[in-house]
Amino acid sequence: MRSLRSTEWSKVEGRLNNLLRNAKEALRKRAPYGPDIDLEEFNFEEEGDVENETIESLPPDLRKAGEAVGIDVNERRVSGTYLQIDGRVLRSTVLKWLRERGLIVAPISEALRKFNWLKDYYWSAIPVDQDKYTAAAEVFRQHGYFIYVPPNVKIEIPVQTCLLMSCHRGAQAVHNIIIADENSELNLITGCATTANRGLHIGVSEFFVKRGARVTFTMIHGWAPEFHVRPRAAVVVEEGGTFVNYYINMHSVKSLQMLPTVIEHRNACSYLTTIVLGRGSAFMDVGGRIIFRGENARGEITSRSVIRDSAKVIMRGQLIAEAQKVRGHLECRGLLLSDSAEAEAIPSLKSKFNDVELTHEAALGRISEEEMIYLMMKGFNEDEATALLVRGFIDAGLQHLPESLRFAAISTLEMAARMAKG
């Protein structure tokens, strides 16, 4: 037994070494989409310590930035919290009764040391050398969170994770792994924000939704005008599992590119909603991809972009059927609020099977004069009418979120609608 164990261990070690080597080789590998970023322009800090602070002890500006992206500072409505600033983990905690039921919220660095089995999941959903950003997350390793929900444990109260950045020209590269074991339920809300004006954020997230489990993942981003953001997410949804993703970005950003990929097995189900407000000279390339690998898998991708100033937003959606009896729908809608705003919708459907139903609709447009006049004749001035129409436009996907998370999403939507007019 002893020798077998040590053989297994050396295999694992060998795999980890390979990962690092592959990552190093991929550090200059451009991503297929989005402007290329020179990683050397940014300062990747050393992986910092794991501390145990309270959110309330945060400097006021960071605290405010966190609150603006839905973070519950008093932790009254959450079952656990993970908080990281730049390369330092400030807090990682779980309510006692949920810890006793097996819920884990921990820095991934710590979790990898503690749970040998976690190494099997590490980089198993996303190739480490997918592009320079995934590679950087492995090479520069700056923590990230690990969340585990044991089988049959259903946690309605959300777990919150918060990734903050405060260093000018800083880079944050985190790696998150989320595992919802069989028939469990997890509601996760992530808020990412910054007090620095220029920086790079890379977030690798690997989700494993086991048989019959349900995960909702609400991500609210609040970056700054000189920020580049490259989330890299992949989700494996096993038989009968459900994954709901709701993403909102309403702050300025220099460039944002992401294409989360969901792989669905038999009878699995997923809903991806992306809502962005493109402002200033932002470039955003967002959307999602669902690969239906098992029969009867279902999925929906919804993108809504509101674009003002001279921002450009590309909405990508890909539905790929690799099995029979799959049903998927894709919807991309863009609302342009200025003459120099630009939008592009790139829906794509792919199937080799005859008994599947993949559909899409895409529309780009402006606010119609008729709608404006109607609202003005009901008592709203131009700005109020625009805000109302924007709010109506971005009202999508909320029905898939649990009540406890709708609040944060709705208050962000309200803010986005007010900001749409400038």
Partner 1 sequence: MSNLLEVRDLSVRAGGKEILHGVNLSIREGDVGVLMGPNAAGKSALLKTIMGDPRYEIVRGSILFNGVKINDLKPYERVKLGIALAFQNPPRIGIKLGYFIDKLSEEFGSNADSVIDELGIRQLVGRELFHGFSGGEMKKTELFITLLQRPRLALLDEPDSGVDIDSLSVIASMINRLIDAGSSILLVTHTGHILRYLRRLDVIHVMINGKIVYSGDPSIMEKILRYGYEKFEKYGVVESGRAIK
Residues within the interface to partner 1 (CB under 8 A): 368, 370-371, 373-381, 384, 388-389, 391-393, 395
Considering beta carbons, is residue 16 or 367 the nearer one to partner 1?
367
Smallest distance from partner 1 to CB 283, Å: 26
Nearer CB in complex with partner 1: 96/378: 378
> Which amino acid is located at 219 in the chain?
M
Could you write out the DSSP letters of every residue in 194-228?
ESSSEEEEEEEEEEEE-TT-EEEEEEEEE--TEEE
> 84 and 90 in contact (C-beta within 8 Å)?
yes
Q: Give the DSSP H or E segment for 22.
A: helix 2-25
Looking at the Cβ atoms of 92 and 302, the one nearer to partner 1 is: 302
Minimum CB–partner distance for residue 303 and partner 1 (Å): 16
Nearer to partner 1, 236 or 417 (CB): 417
CA dist 15 and 327 (Å) reads: 37
Give the torsion sign (CA, 279, 386, 285, 140): positive
Q: Which residue, 200 or 387, is less far from partner 1 as judged by CB?
A: 387
CA dihedral 403, 404, 408, 409 (to 10 degrees): -40
Phi, psi of 55 (to 5 degrees): -65, -30
Measured from the CB atom, the residue of 95 and 389 that comes closer to partner 1 is 389
Rounded to a whole number of angstroms, the minimum distance from the CB of residue 378 to partner 1 is 7
User: For residues 179 and 316, what is the distance between their CA atoms, to the nearest angstrom?
Assistant: 27
Q: Taking a C-beta distance cutoff of 8 angstroms, is the pair 260, 289 a contact?
A: yes
E strands in 279-370: 283-292, 298-307, 312-321, 327-336, 342-351, 357-365
Cite the DSSP H helix spans in 51-117.
60-68, 96-100, 108-114
DSSP conformational letter for 390: H
